[in-house]
Amino acid sequence: MAKDYLTKVIQNKSLAKEMVALRLQVEGEFPDLAMGQFVLIQVPGRPDIVLRRAFCIADYDKASKQISVVFRVIGEGTAVLARVQAGQELQVILPLGSGWDMTKYQTQMEAPIRHIWLVGGGIGVVPLCGIPKEYPQFDYTSLLGFRGKDDSVLAAYFDNSQIATDDGSIGHQGMVVDLLRPAYDKQKPDLILACGSVPFLRGLKNIQTQGWLQSTQNTPIPIYASFETKMACGVGACMGCVIKVDGQKKRVCKDAIFDLTKVEL
């Protein structure tokens, strides 16, 4: 169950221009967490900024009771959070949302999961980066897309990664979906986990509908997706992050993660 925790800033690290990683230590009992979940951080010293800022969990460690979040500075609230100092206290609601659930995915598949693709774009790679640590029994290939070399610093969170950039400053010049076919020809995945913006996931779904993403059993490879979107309340009450899934309204903050075949984009 989500609760409002007092946390202490352990580290504030600039990863790239307007990209920050915060490491926080949770006071009191450490909650049960899963990669794919997110937190709501109160902007300190600014009572005029009412809504907390939502960030996916990039990593967590139960022993030290610490969590990490990575975010891009895109407004006044995130600008304030980018300037917090080690030792400063922050109020954080966690955990929120749904995590990646390999047990659930396996029950819906005929063949065992062995090899997983992690496919992400931009800051949307963050919810994917801790999956290999949480589920070390699987093999992974990471297909990651960024605007340029500066943003690609996030690739350091992944092993066995292939990179595409808009400007060609590192890796393949083009879209991350360009990497799918060569990677597929090299080794077919059993499962694809993806996260990014709506346009990014729309492009991935277009690839899926082409029909060549078939498993070794000649069945469609499942794609489960987490959506990068703006959030307000973060608990499903305001209906501000609604998407359509199988003709029904679903809340990204509350009902995620989604089978991409069922999402209307």
Rounded mean pLDDT, 20-38: 96
Q: Do 69 and 36 reside in the same domain of the chain? A: yes
Examine the domain organization and report whether 141 and 180 are in the same domain.
yes
Are residues 211 and 246 located together in one domain of the fold?
yes
Summarize the confidence of residues 9-29 as an average pLDDT: 96
pLDDT of 123 reads 92
pLDDT reading at 209 higher than 80: yes
Could you tell me if 54 and 117 lie in one domain? no
Model pLDDT, residue 67: 98
Average pLDDT for 21-36: 96
Same domain for 199 and 185, yes or no, is: yes
Per-residue model confidence as pLDDT tens digits over 47-100: 999 999 999 999 999 999 999 999 999 999 999 999 999 999 999 999 999 899
Residue 134 and residue 238 in one domain: yes
> Do 79 and 116 reside in the same domain of the chain?
no
Q: CATH number for the domain including 252? A: 3.40.50.80
Residue 210 is classified by DSSP as: T
Is the pLDDT at 156 greater than 80, yes or no?
A: yes
Question: Among 76, 96, 116, where does a domain finish?
Answer: 96
Question: What is the DSSP code string of 154-206?
Answer: GGGG-SSEEEEESS-SSSEES-GGGGHHHHHHH---SEEEEEE-HHHHHHHHH
What's this model's pTM, rounded to 2 decimal places?
Answer: 0.94
Going by pLDDT thresholds of 50, 70 and 90, the confidence category of residue 234 is confident
Q: In this structure, are 141 and 247 located in the same domain?
A: yes
Between 52-56, 172-176, 190-194, 229-233, the lowest mean confidence (pLDDT) is in 229-233
128 shares a domain with 242:
yes
Average pLDDT rounded to a whole number, residues 168-172: 96
Task: Note whether 43 and 130 are same-domain residues.
Answer: no
Q: What is the CATH number of the domain that holds 83?
A: 2.40.30.10
- 205 with 116, same domain: the answer is yes
Mean pLDDT of the chain: 94
pLDDT tens-place string over residues 100-123 = 999 999 998 888 999 999 999 999
Residue 256 has pLDDT above 80, yes or no: no
For 253, half-sphere exposure in the C-beta direction (CA atoms, 13 angstrom radius) is 23
Structural domain span for residue 125: 102-264
Domain final residue, candidates 42, 64, 96 = 96
Average pLDDT over residues 214-226: 90
User: Final residue of a domain: which of 46, 64, 96?
Assistant: 96
Same-domain pairing of 184 and 256:
yes
How much is the average pLDDT of 146-167?
93
Distance CA 15, CA 18 (A): 8
Complete edge-to-edge strand list for the sheet that includes strand 258-259:
172-173, 161-165, 139-146, 115-121, 191-196, 223-227, 258-259
Rounded mean pLDDT, 26-54: 95
| Number of domains present in the structure of the chain | 2
Is the pLDDT score of 232 beyond 90?
no
pLDDT > 90 fraction of the chain, expressed in percent and rounded? 83
